[in-house]
Structure 1
Amino acid sequence: MCNGITGPDVVAGRWYSPSDCYYLERGRYLAAEREARSLFTRWPSYDPFVQGQFIDFVHNKGAANLSTSTLLRMANAGDLAGACRENPRWNRGTVAGVSTVLPGLQLRGDANAEICLEWRAAS
């Protein structure tokens, strides 16, 4: 429900309105933003598009995965382009016990790399 949200706030069998989903999703996005801000040492220098795709990474893959990643190491070393190019590598999931490239994760990684590398906020 609500774009795949799970956890203690979700009641099985209950119908959730768009405003219910917004409330549940907003809290998770804000938590992902706090995590991203704490992990990326150069956070204030990133434009909103770069920040947004890093928040998306934390929201979908978790701060623990980010904290040990080459993506984070490169970004914190000042190699933002290299960090952006790491996004498509996060394309695998486990299917029947086998690590597999998942098309949806590949599309998301490719899109996040494009956003990070090519989109820029108007000054």
Structure 2
Amino acid sequence: MADEWRPGIRRELLPGRSEAELAGLSLGAAVAGMTAAVLVLVLLFLDARLWVWALLPSAVAVAGIAAGGLLDRSAARRQVREARAGYTTVAAERTDLEYVEARTGQLVRRAGELLTTYELRARLSRVRAAG
């Protein structure tokens, strides 16, 4: 059957970073910012006179959290653009769109196809192995 799924089916992706990549970067930046914020709180809890040592981590906290927010907005805009193009690069998103592996552009799930988590992970592994 021609419509049967197999690894190696490629789809043309929009240029630029995918929603999946932007979401990962957003999470990383936000976690780095929150970690720095916790460091600031620990320093100030230990001794308020350590405020000078808290300046750099404070700047990292603000920058990380702000960058995370900006990247999150970019991911949301990219999600809309990908949906208009008929696909998604995030597995947990809508099942009415094709799910495409972000790095290779290979089809993992056809639109409307319902897969268990196990089936989805198995297909993703096969797609990445095929490369």
Q: TM (normalized to structure 1)?
A: 0.33
- Higher CA-based Rg: 2
